[in-house]
Amino acid sequence: MTISIISHPDCMLHEMGAHHPECPERLSAINDQLLSSGLDFILQHHDAPLATRQQLCRVHDVKYIESIFQKSPKEGQVWLDPDTSMNPHTLTAALRAAGAVVLGVDMVMAGQSSAAFCNVRPPGHHAEHDKAMGFCFFNNIAVGAAHALQVHKLKRVAIIDFDVHHGNGTEDIFREQAEVMYCSTFQHPFYPDSGTRNTAAHIVNVPLAAGADGQAFRDAVKLHWLPKLASFQPELILISAGFDAHIEDDMANLQLLDQDFAWVTGEIKNIADKYAKGRIVSALEGGYALSALGRSVAAHINALLG
């Protein structure tokens, strides 16, 4: 089985301040763990391209996209909300992050890789149709899903989101598009205070209380996600892979362990093998405890390898 990792040095240049949790060291921690575990040597490495405006326009408002380009500073920082800012390298990094998922989709659809992991930042799942928020500028996973639908003519794409925060942006973008099933677990009540109602059959939100452990997470997946995914029979699975539900991550209050991320990845892989010819594209979202992040990504990729 061939697994690709897609990244780019430009993603290291986006910074939002010395003490901001969404920092370049996140990618370094992942790269170091992949090296020390030996995984780096069996993965195919690819540079993330820049997403095009056409690709972004499939999920984002044209005026919003233009505003992000216009706000990109030549020096210093520009804050879009209290948590989210741009430096002179942010726009390029954000375009690379979205472009990575597009490339991943193209590669698995062409059979060049069984699965791909996009080791990129900034993350994307909070970015709505016309709004940046929560460290996110463009909705990377949504851009990839829309590309799969438009270019590869797929009929059913599933997005799985196990980040500790609800992917409000992804739900916002696909709320009226039944060809995209969105399955999410997240801590509630918690930022961004969304996702507590399943507004349509293709939106499967499962809130978890603070303190929920791996068993509660696994029960939620088995009860709510897996039957829906089996019924939906996706032709491609995309993963918003956030690892901030880890017990060591002090950004939130869930208590997942490395092996819980491996377990859920294995369950997703089973669905992909049965209905989607094994095709999975995963993209990094949250995860801010650096050691736990590196280990969890390694567990995730090991599970993708089977």
Query: For the domain that residue 291 is a member of, what is the CATH number?
Result: 3.40.800.20
Calculate helix-pair angle for 90-109, 140-150, nearest 10 degrees.
Answer: 40
Cα 155 versus chain centre, distance: 21
pLDDT, position 183: 98
Mean pLDDT of 41-47: 98
pLDDT, position 199: 75
pLDDT, position 198: 64
Q: 136: helix, coil or strand?
A: strand
Which residue type is seen at 150?
Q
Q: What is the C-alpha separation between 273 and 204, in angstroms, rounded?
A: 21
Where in the sequence is the domain holding 272, given as residue range(s)? 3-305
Is residue 126 flagged as an active site residue? yes
Task: Kindly tell me if the per-residue pLDDT of 212 is higher than 90.
Answer: yes
What does pTM read for this prediction? Answer: 0.98
| Catalytic residue of the set 8, 126, 165, 246 | 126
- Residues 6 or more apart from 153 whose CB is under 8 A from it? none
Alpha-helical (H) ranges within the chain are 25-37, 53-57, 62-71, 90-109, 140-150, 168-174, 214-220, 226-232, 258-275, 290-305
> What's the burial of 62, exposed, middle or buried (CB within 10 Å: 0-12/13-18/19+)?
exposed
Number of domains in the chain: 1
